[in-house]
């Protein structure tokens, strides 16, 4: 089975801090994705990557950046955390475009 | 771009009854429609998917139907059990979504409660 691992289940940070969320997949998937999940809003795509060192903006990229230095690892960076970035963050991977995405269990991030 | 509407937002059924969740999509070029189940404290898990060349697909107690003409697809769960209680998400993959071809667009989710 595909395993997508997010480094933290819960994280508490302060406004203005630089925050790193890490995601690793073990199936040699080409594509990786970062979503945020908020009540009533579903899953919204922040950034995605179709290859190493490649990144593209999703629907809500403002305030975020990403890094993909190795195929198996995709990092989400909050450059200067703000309270409106308090949310559940989900990482996913898929073998190719249009193929099933496999999700990690999420990181619940609180910005105080 | 693609837009996916999901209804209802909440659904409560008695154990043993059937549950139906419906989604509509806007982009006629969409050709892949997965359904995800998210249990409390976990990430979404793929439970069934269908492609546009098929009208119906079944896997034990769950089935998905697709009507390309009307641009809607549905999840059917028969003989519901308490462990079916979760949030369910539909999604559509649009090949005409600019640089994001092949990305999934999600519905907002349905919270299903199965009462024993």
Q: Which of A2, A29, A97 to mutate to test the interface with B (most CBs of B within 10 A)?
A: A97
In this prediction, residue B109 carries a pLDDT of 95
**Alpha-carbon span A98 to A74, nearest angstrom:** 19
**With an 8 Å Cβ cutoff, are A98 and B93 in contact?**
yes
Chain B residue numbers touching A98 (CB-CB < 8 A): 31-32, 93, 95, 102
Chain A residue numbers touching B95 (CB-CB < 8 A): 98
Of B97, B69, B95, B86, residue with least CA distance to B21? B86
In this prediction, residue B95 carries a pLDDT of 59
Chain B residue numbers touching A33 (CB-CB < 8 A): 103
CA distances (Å), A21 to each of A62, A78, A87, A98, in order? 16, 8, 12, 25
**With an 8 Å Cβ cutoff, are A101 and B46 in contact?**
yes
Q: How confident is the model at residue A29 (pLDDT cuts 50, 70, 90)?
A: very high
> How many contacts (CB atoms, under 8 Å) link A and B?
51
In this prediction, residue B101 carries a pLDDT of 61
In this prediction, residue B52 carries a pLDDT of 81
The tens place of each residue's pLDDT in chain B, 116 residues long, gives: 778 999 999 999 999 999 999 999 998 888 899 999 999 989 999 999 998 888 999 999 999 999 999 999 999 999 999 999 999 999 998 655 445 566 888 999 999 999 99
Q: How distant is the Cα of B15 from the closest Cα of chain A, in angstroms?
A: 26
**With an 8 Å Cβ cutoff, are B43 and A104 in contact?**
yes
Which residue on chain B is closest to A106 by alpha carbon? B43
User: Which tens digits make up the pLDDT trace of A94-112?
Assistant: 988 778 899 999 999 999 9
In this prediction, residue A45 carries a pLDDT of 93
Summary mean pLDDT of chain A:
93
Please give the biggest Cα pair distance in chain A: 38
Of B92, B103, B109, B100, residue with least CA distance to B37? B109
User: Which tens digits make up the pLDDT trace of A74-92?
Assistant: 999 999 999 999 999 999 9
3-state secondary structure of B62: strand
**With an 8 Å Cβ cutoff, are B95 and A105 in contact?**
no
pLDDT at A9 over 90: yes
In this prediction, residue B87 carries a pLDDT of 97
Q: How confident is the model at residue A15 (pLDDT cuts 50, 70, 90)?
A: very high
């Amino acid at each position: 089975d595909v395993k997508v691992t997010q480094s933290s289940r819960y994280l508490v940070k302060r406004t203005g801090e630089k925050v790193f969320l890490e995601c690793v997949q073990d199936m040699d998937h080409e594509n990786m994705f970062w979503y945020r999940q908020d009540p009533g809003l579903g899953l919204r795509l922040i950034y995605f990557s179709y290859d190493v060192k490649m990144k593209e903006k999703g629907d809500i990229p403002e305030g975020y950046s990403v890094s993909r230095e190795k195929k198996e690892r995709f990092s989400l960076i909050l450059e200067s955390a703000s309270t409106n970035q308090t949310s559940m963050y989900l990482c996913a991977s898929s073998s190719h475009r249009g193929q099933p995405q496999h999700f990690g269990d999420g990181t619940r991030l609180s910005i105080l | 771009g693609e837009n996916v509407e999901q209804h209802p937002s909440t659904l409560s059924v008695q154990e043993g009854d059937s549950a139906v969740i419906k989604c509509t999509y806007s982009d006629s070029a969409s050709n892949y429609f997965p359904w995800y189940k998210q249990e409390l404290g976990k990430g979404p898990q793929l439970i069934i998917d269908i492609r546009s060349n098929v009208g119906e697909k079944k896997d034990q107690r769950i089935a998905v139907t697709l009507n390309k003409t009307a641009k809607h697809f549905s999840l059917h769960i028969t003989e519901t059990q308490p462990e079916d209680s979760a949030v369910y998400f539909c999604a559509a993959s649009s090949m005409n979504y600019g640089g994001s071809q092949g990305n999934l667009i999600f519905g907002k989710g349905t919270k299903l409660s199965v009462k024993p």
